[in-house]
Amino acid sequence: QKEVEQDPGPLSVPEGAIVSLNCTYSNSAFQYFMWYRQYSRKGPELLMYTYSSGNKEDGRFTAQVDKSSKYISLFIRDSQPSDSATYLCAMRELTGGGNKLTFGTGTQLKVEL
């Protein structure tokens, strides 16, 4: 079993839809959670960074963490074609691991006109 599970998609939604992206994890030592967006042939870009259970909102993006269920989500409201990309969840332990991130496989999202 992988430490981080993420549905690879592809996920196709119409413009304006609410998108829900999810990851589950098995390592209870993970305490920091991130969502990255990666356009084709580009490096990942940090979207959200959280370290506590609950919701964190930034514009059209909301990150949700449920440590008791080992489940994190990213919601995108009013999705736009420019949101079409691969979304990667990433996690890190509180101490140890040397700041290494463990990534999910990424979910490919396509927002259609």
Partner 1 sequence: GAVVSQHPSWVICKSGTSVKIECRSLDFQATTMFWYRQFPKQSLMLMATSNEGSKATYEQGVEKDKFLINHASLTLSTLTVTSAHPEDSSFYICSAPQARQGGYEQYFGPGTRLTVT
| Contacting residues toward partner 1, per CB under 8 A | 8, 32, 34, 36, 41-46, 49, 51, 88, 90, 92, 94, 98-101, 103-106, 108
CB count within 10 Å of CB 17 equals 15
Nearest approach in angstroms of CB 16 to partner 1 is 27
Q: Which is nearer to partner 1, 38 or 73 (CB)?
A: 38
Q: Is the peptide bond before 10 cis (omega within 30 degrees of 0)?
A: yes
C-alpha 109/C-alpha 87 separation (Å) is 7
Q: Which is nearer to partner 1, 14 or 98 (CB)?
A: 98
Beta pairing partners, 67? none
